[in-house]
Amino acid sequence: MPIESIFSAKEIVKSFGGTVVLKKITIDIKKGRVLALVGENGAGKSTLINIISGSLQADSGELYYEGKKISWSSPKKALQNGIAVVHQELTLFKNLPVYENVFAGNPETMRGIRLNRKTMRQESRRLLEKLGMDIDVNTLVGELTVAQQQIVEIAKAVAWKPKLLILDEATSALDTVLVQKLFAFCRELLAEGTAIIFVSHRMSEIFEISDEVLVIKDGAMVGFYDQLDGVTEDDLVRCMVGYNVETIFPEKNENESREPLLVTRNLSTKNIHNVSIEVRPGEIIGLGGLHGHGQEELLRALFGLEKITGGEITIDGKPYEPKNVQKAIRYGFAYVPPDRKTEGLVLTLPIEENLTITVLRDFCGFMGRINSKKEKAMQDEVRGRLRIDQRQYRQLSGHLSGGNQQKVVIGKWLKSGFKVLLMDEPTRGVDVATKHEIYMFLRELVAQGVAVLLVSTEIIELMGISDRIYIFYEGSVHAELKGADINEEKVTYAIMGLKGE
């Protein structure tokens, strides 16, 4: 019996100002099946999704929904007909309570212009519980953590009772436990006949949930697998990047002998307690744990962004008391924030100016005049070292793909003379090839004697890149893992707050 198709797109073409971003894409989505869409950043996945969901109109090509030819004029039309998207960029209203966010625009809870708040509260509570999130639905969304907001965003899409649910990087802010809850929920929906389009950069997730995989590269279809038996991660990655990535993580190096570079003793802030860690030069230290268990706050505290309530820090043998960011930079810290778009970059400035923004003083002469020759030399060097893919002179950072943006965020610290690089989720939403480049680059950096502290909720990354791992649980260091102890079982156990054997 052939499985019924719910949505199909034929030969979709879309271009933005002369650049063709989708080249005759044809897809077919069937009831109760999961189609994974994979490809590097900037391959055209989000554009395709925006066309399916009515946010953008295709230049040419046809869309069929439940057998009928359609063209959506707005997301509203698509939503009303049962196509809901969980967007990569959250579409939430931070000053509205959770339940209003979940049902904003949803006619389900409207009686004319009146809102049925009782149903809104009940239903949002039920949906959030199913997704494994126990939060008060009256809380303002702005007070939630990123992971909690992501779950609200998912609940919002599901509340439309979609026939086609699109998850665009919906798992990138979630830890393993929440991803499993989400998958369990998705399986329920699939059993009811819902179709799902799944986009993720995590290969393990794709293999776990998908029935079919479509690979897109530079706006064109380069591979399609109608089942995943016998297909390996390498096959997909090769297809995606167009060349063979032998191993994505570089060799580790072990040097226990050197004097510690950074030491904290019983460091405490509002949400972390008595954190004592040691970091040696040349090391990449992974900080693991579920979201909000303190690892992110440690980085922020070291960079002078949180108030220290107790404990001490020494760097290079000197005592250090983080007061503000300027002081942190003076003492040799650099920080790559989790959200490059809002904290890492000035999107409306070109790459060049973003690269020199942290070290501008070095180029300033009389009355703050910038020595543009020196500045340009530095920009060229950094761009070369990080292999930032720049298409035109003074290209705006906002127009770069996620991976390239992340390189700029790292690049702007290169000349600041840092000793410790603090990174919070440096590869979130970054494609495999760029991830590999970033990892290689980090190894290159630490070989010169600096250290890297890296927060990641992705276990594979944490294990692959770290020489040692500190696992955080409820604001304290729960376990320190190194060498052979770094394996999936031990890490997962520690993350859950258990002492695994």
Partner 1 sequence: MRKQSIFLKKYGELIPIYVVMILMIGINVWKQPNFFSVTTLSRTFNQLAPYIFISMAQMCIMLIGGMNFALGGLVSLSTCIFAKTMVESDLRNIPRIIAVILLIGVMEALVGYIIGHFRLPTIVVTLATSFIYEGLALGILPTPGGYVSPNIATFLTGRIGPISVAFLMCLVFVVIWCLIRRSSVGLLIYAVGQNRNAAFSSGLNVTWGYVMAFFINGVLAALAGLMLCARTMSGDPRIANDMTINAVTAAVLGGVTFSGGEGKIAGTIAGAVVVGMLVNVLFYLNITGFYTYFVQGIILIISVVVNNWRRGARRNA
C-beta closer to partner 1: residue 109 or 210 = 109
Residue 90 burial (10 A CB sphere; 0-12, 13-18, 19+)? middle
C-beta closer to partner 1: residue 1 or 113 = 113
Distance CA 11, CA 48 (A): 11
Taking the complex as a whole, the smallest distance from the CB of residue 435 to partner 1 amounts, in Å, to 28
What value, to the nearest 5°, has the Cα angle with vertex 71 and ends 67 and 72? 115
Sign, Cα dihedral of 401, 402, 407, 412 = positive
When asked if residue 90 is in the footprint of partner 1 (CB under 8 A), the reply is: yes
C-beta closer to partner 1: residue 92 or 345 = 92
Among 91, 276, 390, 492, binds partner 1 (CB under 8 A): 91
Distance CA 139, CA 145 (A): 12
When asked if residue 403 is in the footprint of partner 1 (CB under 8 A), the reply is: no
What value, to the nearest 5°, has the Cα angle with vertex 289 and ends 288 and 291? 120
Residue 326 burial (10 A CB sphere; 0-12, 13-18, 19+)? exposed
C-beta closer to partner 1: residue 49 or 408 = 49
Question: Residue 213's beta-bridge partner residues?
Answer: 36, 225
When asked if residue 156 is in the footprint of partner 1 (CB under 8 A), the reply is: yes
When asked if residue 348 is in the footprint of partner 1 (CB under 8 A), the reply is: no
C-beta closer to partner 1: residue 89 or 226 = 89
When asked if residue 330 is in the footprint of partner 1 (CB under 8 A), the reply is: no
- Distance from the first to the final alpha carbon of the chain: 48
When asked if residue 347 is in the footprint of partner 1 (CB under 8 A), the reply is: no
Among 13, 110, 220, 396, binds partner 1 (CB under 8 A): 110
What value, to the nearest 5°, has the Cα angle with vertex 253 and ends 251 and 257? 180
C-beta closer to partner 1: residue 79 or 236 = 79
Taking the complex as a whole, the smallest distance from the CB of residue 170 to partner 1 amounts, in Å, to 14
Closest Cα partner for 479 from 464, 490, 466?
A: 490
Among 41, 88, 106, 466, binds partner 1 (CB under 8 A): 106
When asked if residue 93 is in the footprint of partner 1 (CB under 8 A), the reply is: yes
Residue 378 corresponds to which tokens in the numbers above? 């530095």
Among 74, 232, 247, 324, binds partner 1 (CB under 8 A): 74
Taking the complex as a whole, the smallest distance from the CB of residue 125 to partner 1 amounts, in Å, to 17
When asked if residue 80 is in the footprint of partner 1 (CB under 8 A), the reply is: yes
Helix/strand/coil (H/E/C) assignment for every residue in 53-103: CCCCCCCEEEEEECCEEECCCCHHHHHHCCEEEECCCCCCCCCCEHHHHHH
Q: Is 227 helix (H, G, I), strand (E, B) or coil?
A: coil
When asked if residue 105 is in the footprint of partner 1 (CB under 8 A), the reply is: yes
Which among 77-85, 381-389, 391-399, 473-481 is the span making contact with partner 1, rule CB under 8 A? 77-85
Distance CA 310, CA 387 (A): 41
Among 22, 29, 63, 92, binds partner 1 (CB under 8 A): 92
Closest Cα partner for 50 from 18, 16, 98?
A: 16
Among 3, 57, 67, 76, binds partner 1 (CB under 8 A): 76
Size of the site for partner 1 (CB under 8 A): 29
Distance CA 429, CA 95 (A): 26
Whole-number Cα distances in Å, 413 to 5, 249, 334, 368, 378: 50, 22, 6, 21, 12
Sign, Cα dihedral of 377, 380, 382, 385 = negative
C-beta closer to partner 1: residue 424 or 467 = 424
Distance CA 151, CA 133 (A): 7
Whole-number Cα distances in Å, 432 to 39, 201, 288: 9, 7, 20
Among 29, 48, 63, 79, binds partner 1 (CB under 8 A): 79
C-beta closer to partner 1: residue 270 or 394 = 270
Site string for partner 1, 116-155 (x = CB under 8 A): -x--------------------x---x-------------
Ranges of H-type helices in 132-231: 146-158, 176-191, 203-209
Q: Residue 450: which H helix or E strand, with range?
A: none
Among 13, 20, 70, 115, binds partner 1 (CB under 8 A): 115
Taking the complex as a whole, the smallest distance from the CB of residue 49 to partner 1 amounts, in Å, to 11
Taking the complex as a whole, the smallest distance from the CB of residue 113 to partner 1 amounts, in Å, to 5
Site string for partner 1, 199-238 (x = CB under 8 A): ----------------------------------------
When asked if residue 85 is in the footprint of partner 1 (CB under 8 A), the reply is: yes
When asked if residue 73 is in the footprint of partner 1 (CB under 8 A), the reply is: no
Site string for partner 1, 174-203 (x = CB under 8 A): ------------------------------
Enumerate binding residues for partner 1 (CB under 8 A): 53, 55, 74-76, 79-80, 85, 87, 90-96, 100, 104-106, 110, 113-115, 117, 138, 142, 156, 160
